[in-house]
Amino acid sequence: MFQVRIHGRGSQGVVTAAEMLSIAAFAEHKHAQAIPSFGSERMGAPVVSYVRIDDQAIELTEPVMAPDLLIIQDPTLFHSVDVFSGLAADGFVLINSARSVAELQIQEIADRLPVHHVVPVAATELAMYHLGRPTPNTVLLGALTALTDVIQLESVIKAIEDKFSGEVAQRNIAAARAAHDAARAA
């Protein structure tokens, strides 16, 4: 089972990201579960969502305690939430930031993990460029397909087409592809 925990703030699409990731996994005929952990649902409040992906039916409903992949949509959460809690020893960390691992002051985390497992991607900037709004969620889903083989970029594109239509879908797909390329180059 591959477990994902997504940290962000209200209005960044943390819950939608988890839903789309589960739809992407379903497109690959895998079992997947996305569960939001709603806090007080205000814009800007810390929000967490969980995704599990497996080849067999998933019955667990506990929060994801030991993620294989962490998606951090807002690095300012480092100061208020223990986002790295329980991260698997060979886990991945995808961070929405234009800054480097050293600049983000998380070299210590990166050193505990295999090389290239902590990847910052300037998702907000990519979202502003492609979508005209600072919503990093679909961008980061594109990026994650460059980190692991668990989900393919084409499946994320299918999930985007499932959630959005028309020009909005096309713009999100372009953003996801750009993020995939950026993460691969990182």
Partner 1 sequence: MLQQIEGSAAVARAVAMCRPEVIAAYPITPQTHIVEGLGEMVKRGDVGRCEFLNVESEFGAMSTCIGASAAGARTYTATSSQGMLFMMEAVYNASGLGLPIVMTVGNRAIGPPINIWNDWSDSMSARDAAWIQLFVEDNQQAADVHIQAFRIAETVSLPVMVCMDGFILTHAYTRVDVPEPQQVDRFLPPFRPRQVLDPDAPVTMGAMVGPEAFAEVRFLAHYKQLEALDVIPEQAAEFQRVFGRDSGGLLKSFDAEGAKIVVVTMGSVIGTMKSVLADMRAAGTSIGAVSIRSYRPFPRDALRAALAGAERVIVFEKCLAVGIGGILAGDVRMALSDLPVRVHSVIGGLGGRPITRENLRRMFEKGANDELEEPHFHDINMDVVRRELERLKNVHRPGPSAESILRDVGLVTGTRSI
Residues interacting with partner 1, by CB under 8 A? 15, 18-19, 22-23, 25-26, 31-38, 57-63, 65
- For residue 150, the minimal CB distance to partner 1 (Å) is 16
Neighbours of 110 (CB within 10 A): 17
Neighbours of 44 (CB within 10 A): 10
Nearest to 83 by CA among 62, 57, 109: 109
- For residue 149, the minimal CB distance to partner 1 (Å) is 20
- For residue 101, the minimal CB distance to partner 1 (Å) is 29
- Our CB check for partner 1 shows the closer of 50 and 120 to be 50
- Our CB check for partner 1 shows the closer of 26 and 164 to be 26
Residue the block writes with tokens 């460059």: 146
- Our CB check for partner 1 shows the closer of 19 and 74 to be 19
Report phi then psi at 32, rounded to 5: -150, 155
- Our CB check for partner 1 shows the closer of 163 and 186 to be 163
- For residue 23, the minimal CB distance to partner 1 (Å) is 5
Sequential DSSP letters for 77-95: GGGTS-TTTT--TT-EEEE
- Our CB check for partner 1 shows the closer of 37 and 170 to be 37
**Chain-centre distance for alpha carbon 32:** 15
**Chain-centre distance for alpha carbon 39:** 19
Neighbours of 25 (CB within 10 A): 25
| DSSP state for residue 163 in the 8-state scheme | H
- For residue 68, the minimal CB distance to partner 1 (Å) is 17
